[in-house]
Amino acid sequence: FLEKGEVEFKNVSFSYPESEVPVLQNLSFSVKSGETLAILGSTGSGKTSLFQLVPRLYDVSEGEVLVDGKNVRDYPIEALRKGIGVVPQEAVLFTGSISENISWGKEGAVQEEIVQAAKDAQIHETVLKLPNQYDTRVGQRGVNLSGGQKQRLSIARALVRKPKILMLDDSTSALDLKTEAKLLEALRKYACTTFIITQKISTAMEADHILLLDDGSIEAWGTHEELLETSPLYVKIVQS
Ligand code: DUT
Ligand code: MG
């Protein structure tokens, strides 16, 4: 659905349709195919809003978002939705089996692919312990899963589609460091361009680029080492 998964923001500003308040202001950056971008910033700084502009859950107010050099407005919406795996901040489960929850949105996914996605999302072992494994019902009247387990199911749902661009909105917040490291390692073989909103410096350190948002603007851009040199705000976050 997408060729390479390169993403470029060109002077992007954004305010929500119902409001005049600019949420994102004049953002420019680019991420190459297969690179990882970590997005940091305090609550309300615009991280989730930025995410939503790539699969066109919202459209920019000014500027352009390009995927593989082409304005996202010029893609069929299907291509964006199928080529970009978005794992939302709040994991959503449907009433249905674990398998159905993972394969949702990917018609014709076979069990093998579902299990592989679950393994990569680090949820397979948990699923095996459930009463009916992959046939166990979740959601209303189903088994209860913890926040972290829901997050990982939601990641598996994105992975089964083999996205060219993967967007994780704080999706690893409930994972311990070891599980998160395993997950990030497993993501490598997907070779997708990855946007990861995170509060953890340990995650940001592994990324090719870090974008630090402050009140809708880019406060800093670079690698961990670069930001330690150039951004007092980043240093403050590291020390906190
Ligand atoms: N906002 C709206 N309408 C919405 C969503 C958000 O006006 O439907 C505002 C709230 C906030 C700004 O946009 O002032 C940025 O919100 P966003 O959700 O992008 O912030 P975040 O960085 O993702 O915050 P958090 O870390 O709490 O998820
Ligand atoms: Mg958010």
Ligand 1: which of 45, 199, 212 to mutate, judged by most atoms within 8 Å of the beta carbon?
Answer: 45
Q: Which residues contact 239 (CB under 8 A, 6 or more apart)?
A: none
- Which atom of ligand 1 is closest in space to residue 216's alpha carbon? 15
CA–CA dist 23, 2 (Å, integer): 28
* CATH code assigned at 183: 3.40.50.300
Burial of 31 (0-12, 13-18, 19+ CB in 10 A): buried
For residue 49 the two structure tokens come to: 């809003």
Cβ–ligand 1 distance for 217 under 6 Å, the answer no
Q: Which residues contact 112 (CB under 8 A, 6 or more apart)?
A: none
> pLDDT by residue for the chain (240 residues), tens digit each?
899 999 999 999 999 999 989 999 999 999 999 999 999 999 999 999 999 999 999 999 999 999 999 999 999 999 999 999 999 988 888 889 999 999 987 878 899 999 999 999 999 999 999 999 999 999 777 788 988 899 999 999 999 999 999 999 998 888 888 999 999 999 999 999 999 999 899 999 989 999 999 999 999 999 999 999 999 999 999 998
Residue 210, CA distances (Å) to 8, 41, 63, 202, 233 in order: 15, 10, 21, 12, 13
Atom 17 in ligand 1: which residue has the minimum CA distance?
A: 46
The structural domain count of the chain equals: 1
pLDDT at 140: 76
CA–CA dist 129, 18 (Å, integer): 46
Residue 165, CA distances (Å) to 76, 78, 81, 89, 235 in order: 16, 14, 10, 17, 29
> 1 lies in a domain?
no
Would you mind telling me the total number of residues written for the chain in this entry? 240
Query: Do 35 and 195 contact (CB within 8 A), yes or no?
Result: no
pLDDT at 31: 98
pLDDT at 193: 97
Q: What is the largest CA-CA distance in the chain?
A: 52
> 65 lies in a domain?
yes
pLDDT at 227: 96
Atom 4 in ligand 1: which residue has the minimum CA distance?
A: 16
- Which atom of ligand 1 is closest in space to residue 45's alpha carbon? 22
pLDDT in tens, 52-64: 999 999 999 999 9
pLDDT in tens, 169-217: 998 888 888 999 999 999 999 999 999 999 899 999 989 999 999 999 9
> 2 lies in a domain?
no
pLDDT at 83: 95
Ligand 1: which of 49, 60, 90, 195 to mutate, judged by most atoms within 8 Å of the beta carbon?
Answer: 49
Cβ–ligand 1 distance for 47 under 6 Å, the answer yes
> 146 lies in a domain?
yes
Distance 48 CA to ligand 2 centre (A): 4
Q: Which residues contact 240 (CB under 8 A, 6 or more apart)?
A: none
> 12 lies in a domain?
yes
pLDDT at 174: 85
- Which atom of ligand 1 is closest in space to residue 19's alpha carbon? 7
List the alpha helices (DSSP H) in the chain.
47-52, 77-83, 98-103, 111-120, 124-128, 147-159, 177-187, 201-206, 224-230, 232-239
CA–CA dist 154, 135 (Å, integer): 16
Distance 18 CA to ligand 1 centre (A): 13
Distance 131 CA to ligand 2 centre (A): 34
Range of the structural domain that residue 168 is part of:
7-239
